[in-house]
Amino acid sequence: MKMKTLMYFLIIFTGFSLLFFSSCQDKQTEEELLKYRQKEEIEASNIEVIKRFFKLLDELKLEECNNLVTPDNKWYTNSVQWVFKDAIPLLPTFYISFPDFKHNIENIFAVYDYVVAQINYTGTQLKKYMEIAATGNKIEYKGIFIFKMVDGKILEGQIVEDHLTLYNQLGLELK
């Protein structure tokens, strides 16, 4: 009888142990899954912010673009630091020279609070640009943006663009 009681006790103890440990593992797995889902949601949301930014930029809705950046934003182009608000008066002049200028997103992805966008720029030079008379030439060149996001807004933007290709398409030559 004692052996039978001991066996029942061991079976019950083993069952409870399995339930307890599997329940702990399930809780840990659920927490990890929740963190992963939250990360995925933030990354997807950040990508949408960047897509909206480029759309508004091409529509010259620059104040709306400015609402997508933090007040303490920093941008870097060729080692020059600037803030988006300072660029607002300058951007329309580029779109006057290239009225159909577009930022076409070829690839975009996010990792944590960073978003990387590969851009294919297109447009047609219909007016003077930087002392280059209107050529009527269609342009197409590449660029890469790396954004750092905070709370769904752009904190930093790093920009690298292939200006050599742009200038060659406008008739300038490197000598």
CB-side neighbour CA atoms (13 Å) of 62: 13
Higher per-residue confidence, 173 vs 55: 55
Who's near 56: CB < 8 A, 6+ residues apart?
Answer: 62, 64, 65, 68
Q: Give the pTM.
A: 0.82
For residues 73-106, b (16+ Cβ closer than 10 Å) or e, as one string? bbbeeeeeeeebeeeeeeeeeebebbeebebebe
In the block, residue with structure tokens 């954004």: 147
Architecture of the 2-169 domain: Roll (3.10)
The pLDDT tens digits of the residues spanning 75-134 come to 999 889 999 999 999 999 999 999 999 999 999 999 999 999 999 999 999 999 999 999
The pLDDT tens digits of the residues spanning 12-42 come to 767 666 556 655 567 778 888 888 899 999 9
Which segments within 96-137 are labelled E, that is strand? 102-111, 114-124
- What is the domain partition of the chain in residue ranges? 2-169
Q: Which of 94, 125, 123, 119 is nearest to 104 (CA)?
A: 119
Sheet with 114-124, edge to edge strand ranges = 80-82, 69-77, 153-161, 138-150, 114-124, 102-111
| Cα distance between residue 51 and residue 42, in whole Å | 14
How many Cβ atoms sit within 10 Å of the Cβ of residue 165?
A: 14
